[in-house]
Homo-oligomer: A and B are copies of this chain.
Amino acid sequence: MSEGIEQVAGEGTQEGGGRRSREGRGAAARRASRTGGGPGPSLPYITRKIREYEVLDEDGLQLIEANADLILEEIGIEFREDPEALQLWRDAGADVRGERVHFPKGLCRELLKTAPSQFTWHARNPERSVQIGGKATVFVPVYGPPFVRDLEGVRRYATIEDFRNFVKLAYMAPSMHSSGGTVCEPVDIPVNKRHLDMVYSHLKYSDKPFMGSVTAPERAEDSIAMAKIVFGDEFVENNTVMMNLINANSPMVFDETMVGALKVYARHNQACVVSPFILSGAMSPVTVAGTLTQILAEVLAGASFTQLIRKGAPVLFGTFAASISMQSGAPTFGSPEPSLVSYGAAQLARRLGLPFRTGGSLCGSKVPDAQAAHESANTLNMTLLAGTNFVLHAAGWLEGGLVSSYEKFMIDQDQLGMMQKFAEGIDLSENAQALDAIREVGPGSHYLGCAHTQANFQTAFYRSPLADNNSFEQWEIEGQKRIEERANALCRSWLESYEAPHLDPAIDDALLAFIKERKDSMPDAFT
């Protein structure tokens, strides 16, 4: 018998019924839903009912930990051009020589005991607040690209209009749990001012939780000031409303920009994602075990530093892992070695009691083709199974992070929906056991029309809005479209049907006034 599959003659009901019965976000969502173009309602963050996959046993973990302790003590980590940081380390009992900090065994772990293992990342709409840590997984859009690949297929510098579009798409994507941070770099706005427009866009066009600016301490201060306009001063000082990406300058360096931003955020109780930025073979040893050792040492130093600033400030164990091509020096994604690094790092983070960040939908491809998809899927499957809590770059990342792609964003967010469904694990309820259905149908018949199928099919399977599973003939009639063409059309449909969430006009005015005041105080041509 061949395993080639012809269409099954369907007795199932039509899609419309299911769609219409869902609660839409608003008039636009309902309208779009009726025409098939709407995204459906936002889903809460993922609470994983599945276990974590592990690649290291107890002996391996202890070996890596012992080696990291050795690095911290013997080699040390540099905190550059920041006398305050060095003094704080001296006061904490570290051995500081020049800018190099040597850590007595156990110091960093001891300091990290005051860091929370889980906390709430608050959104301005409380229904969109998410948990960071534990069994929670939160998907966050692509971060950082200076370029976009737009809906006309053109690769060009990103603008604030693109930025707003990606915020809107993240707001609408059901399994995107955050508005993100630098979803692309709006290079049409001067570098010293653009953080204001970025933070404003997150607050204006979305009500999902967002990330703050980290490119200079004063931009971190601006981010906090704007958050306070929306959330109130006291709320911000005592809760976490921003996640902030603090990359180590691997190997074994934290620079003044990153340490500066870290200090501002930790001081105000905002969360730092301390992430060694690793291209193995360049920023770390070419081997997985060596890379894991260095990552752990860097995170221990950087994360524990937040507790010197403010005990109890939330901090994440971050890992950005890629390899480099030893031929061209280019970074490579979705390959086996970074996956092993990330799985191992997740285990090390759990042992430290810190929430963990890694992965996403990473790829090196220039277009959303099968290379992009394989690399993204390899990374994303690992990300979920590793038990990652905070998933930056979950959708839209192309070309090694140089490009935010509209089409890839749509394809990726569909995959996020699949991951969210997978994370529910296996329902073992009496209904799911389906013994009555098996009795009813019996040998040689089929389940298409049976009562159990009718009662359960609406929620049984994840439904992709982009995958084409029609017959070849139907696909041919519909123009032989590749998935990126369907993604393009769906993206246009979403952007057309977008409606902003409510924002109190008085708060909006206050934000705009703050931005004007800050921009007026800055030189125009600053870069």
Nearest Cβ on chain B to A447's Cβ, whole angstroms: 6
Does any Cβ of B come within 8 Å of A411's Cβ? yes
Q: Which residues of B contact A7 (CB under 8 A)?
A: 328-330
For A487, give the chain B residue with the smallest CB separation: B370
Does any Cβ of B come within 8 Å of A279's Cβ? yes
B75 touches A438 (CB 8 A): yes
- Picked from B53, B366, B385, the residue with its CB within 8 Å of the CB of A468 is B366
Interface size class of A (residues with CB under 8 A): 35 or more
Does any Cβ of B come within 8 Å of A252's Cβ? yes
Of A88-96, A225-233, A307-315, A450-458, the stretch lying at the interface with chain B is A450-458
Q: How far is the CA of A245 from the CA of B376 in the complex (A)?
A: 32
B483 touches A369 (CB 8 A): yes
Q: Which residues of B contact A245 (CB under 8 A)?
A: 1, 3
- Proximity bits, A435-473, B CB within 8 Å = 1, else 0: 101110111111110001100110011111011111110
Nearest Cβ on chain B to A227's Cβ, whole angstroms: 21
A437 touches B290 (CB 8 A): yes
B336 touches A5 (CB 8 A): no
Q: How far is the CA of A463 from the CA of B6 in the complex (A)?
A: 37
Nearest Cβ on chain B to A116's Cβ, whole angstroms: 25
Does any Cβ of B come within 8 Å of A422's Cβ? yes
Of A394-402, A499-507, A510-518, the stretch lying at the interface with chain B is A394-402
Q: Which residues of B contact A320 (CB under 8 A)?
A: 3
Nearest Cβ on chain B to A288's Cβ, whole angstroms: 5
Nearest Cβ on chain B to A212's Cβ, whole angstroms: 14
B1 touches A257 (CB 8 A): yes
For A5, give the chain B residue with the smallest CB separation: B400
Does any Cβ of B come within 8 Å of A271's Cβ? no
Nearest Cβ on chain B to A294's Cβ, whole angstroms: 6
- Among A78, A144, A381, A435, max chain B CB count under 10 A is at A435
Does any Cβ of B come within 8 Å of A286's Cβ? yes
B53 touches A402 (CB 8 A): no
Does any Cβ of B come within 8 Å of A415's Cβ? yes
B63 touches A326 (CB 8 A): no
Of A103-111, A125-133, A200-208, A424-432, the stretch lying at the interface with chain B is A424-432
B370 touches A4 (CB 8 A): no
Q: Which residues of B contact A424 (CB under 8 A)?
A: 336
Of A9-17, A23-31, A37-45, A166-174, the stretch lying at the interface with chain B is A9-17
Does any Cβ of B come within 8 Å of A160's Cβ? no
For A8, give the chain B residue with the smallest CB separation: B329
Given contacts A12-B329, A364-B468, contact A401 B4 (CB under 8 A): yes
A447 touches B373 (CB 8 A): no
For A367, give the chain B residue with the smallest CB separation: B482
Chain A residues numbered 251-278 whose CB sits less than 8 Å from any CB in chain B: 251-253, 257-258, 277
Q: Which residues of B contact A8 (CB under 8 A)?
A: 279, 282, 324, 329-331
Does any Cβ of B come within 8 Å of A136's Cβ? no
Q: How far is the CA of A61 from the CA of B234 in the complex (A)?
A: 50
- Among A50, A290, A402, max chain B CB count under 10 A is at A290
For A249, give the chain B residue with the smallest CB separation: B444
Q: How far is the CA of A350 from the CA of B429 in the complex (A)?
A: 24
Does any Cβ of B come within 8 Å of A352's Cβ? no
Q: Which residues of B contact A185 (CB under 8 A)?
A: 2
Q: Which residues of B contact A100 (CB under 8 A)?
A: 443
- Proximity bits, A293-336, B CB within 8 Å = 1, else 0: 11000000000000000000000000010111111111110111
A282 touches B447 (CB 8 A): yes
Nearest Cβ on chain B to A151's Cβ, whole angstroms: 16
Given contacts A281-B448, A325-B469, contact A460 B337 (CB under 8 A): yes
Q: How far is the CA of A439 from the CA of B4 in the complex (A)?
A: 56
Does any Cβ of B come within 8 Å of A371's Cβ? yes
Extra A-B contacts (4), CB below 8 Å, given A7-B329, A10-B324, A371-B373: A10-B326, A283-B446, A287-B452, A288-B426
Q: List 6 A-B contacts (CB under 8 A).
A: A15-B327, A287-B452, A290-B432, A290-B452, A370-B411, A370-B482
The 6 closest A-B pairs by CB, nearest first: A290-B434, A10-B329, A377-B377, A373-B373, A12-B326, A285-B434
